[in-house]
Amino acid sequence: MLLKDQHGIHIEFLVWYRDMAFIGIKVPQEVAEKLSTIEVPGERSDPDEMHITLLYLGETSLANIIKAVAVVAAMAQKTKPFLIGCAFKTCFPENPDDGVPIIARVQSPTIMGLQEELKKLMKESGVEYKDKYPDFKPHVTLSYSNEPCDGLGFEPVVWTVESINVWGGKEMDDMMVTSIELNG
C-alpha cells in the first residue's frame, strides 16, 4: 500500500505485515513513580510502561493501525485535557498468561465517555479492534501476582491527561509510538 502526504512524501508499507497494537493513556513519569511505591505482591510493572488501555486492537495490520491513528487524531481535536486519578488498589481475576493483575483503579467520568466515543468512531471508520473485555474498567496495572490481593485505599494520585497514545509492534511499542495531544 502506498500513502502520500500533503508534502508529496510517499510512504510504502506492506499491508500483510501484522503486529500488536493498542490505544491508551501513558501515565506520566512522576505519577508512575508514585504508583510504583504502593506495596503490591508479585512482579511489579515497570513504571516506564504504566498506561491505561482505552482500546486493544490486537494483532492487526499496519494499515489498520494507521487508520486508528487518524481516528484518534480527529477525536483529540475535539477533546480537552482532563483530570484523572487513582486511590484504590484491587485485582482482576487470574489471567492464564500472566497471573493475577494487581491494579490501581482509575476514577474519571471523562475517561468512560472517551472510551465509548473512541469505540463508536472506530466502528464508523472501519477500524478493527478486539472487544475481549466489553465492560471498560479503567486501571493501571501495578503488578502480576500468583494470588489475589485485598482491596485497599492509598493516598490519591491525580494528574491531567494531555494526550492519547497509539502503540504498535511485536513488543507492543517497538514499531511505533504515536502521542496525540488533546486540543479540544
- Indicate whether 2 belongs to any domain: no
Number of domains in the chain: 1
Domain membership of residue 46 as a residue range: 17-181
pTM: 0.87
Count of residues in the chain = 184
Whether residue 102 is contained in a domain is answered as yes
Which amino acid does the sequence have at 1?
M
Q: What is the pLDDT of residues 24-61, one digit of tens each?
A: 999 999 999 999 999 999 999 999 999 999 999 998 88
CATH of the domain at 86: 3.90.1140.10
- Our separate counts of H helices and E strands in the chain read 3, 11
The angle subtended at Cα 123 by Cα 175 and Cα 56, nearest 5°, is 40
Measured CA to CA, the distance from residue 127 to residue 121 in angstroms comes to: 8
Q: Is the pLDDT of residue 172 over 70?
A: no
Rounded distance, CA 7 to CA 17, Å? 25
